[in-house]
Structure 1
Amino acid sequence: MRMGKCSLLFEENYCLNGGKCYNFTIANSTMPTCECADGFMGERCESKYLDGTYLSMRKSKIHIETASIYYGAFLALIVVLVLLYFLHCFQSSSSAKLMKKSKKVVS
């Protein structure tokens, strides 16, 4: 069993979130392994330690994307409602003016 530095390709890209890459050699088999920075864990340091629990970064990203979608939909709904309100006010105003004009013409 031996540990050594990873090749340049693995050194830069294998470990995530500031983890350090090492080659772990057993018999004739070599595989990269990560030493994770504080607050991270997982095979490639992909999970974040948060208040006593680990949160997968992928799950965290999904939660953020879902919240963003809901927030965007809510904002779009508000914009549509405001536009409908102003359209209604404009049409009511136009109808009132038209009624006044038609009363003057009839009189």
Structure 2
Amino acid sequence: MNFRPLEREDVKPLQRLFMESLSDLIRREQFEDADLLDEEVERLNTTVQDSFEDETVQIFVVLQDDVIVGTAAILPPNDIITAHVDIEPNVPEIGCMYVAPGA
């Protein structure tokens, strides 16, 4: 396996990973919110685009045989976190982590 920072050519494969992972989660957990998948993928796609413009948002991918099988984002805590949890200044959080169901 290879672990490296996100590159622009990873965007489409990463979107597939998000869809695959979230679809599997929704199926296993029997979520009934039909908009959940689209809303979460849109949020993740925004985070991906932010990572190309904002150095405080870092996304990494994990490749196995040149196929993306995992990802993690490290970014500043959002307002939901900072409103309810005391955080140390300038300490990022793991914002999301996805692994392909087959991996």
- Common fold by TM > 0.5: no
Q: TM-score, normalization: structure 2?
A: 0.28
Higher percent of residues as helix: 1
By relative contact order (CA 8 Å, sep 6+), the higher-ranking structure is 2
Q: TM-score, normalization: structure 1?
A: 0.28
Pair member with larger Rg: 1
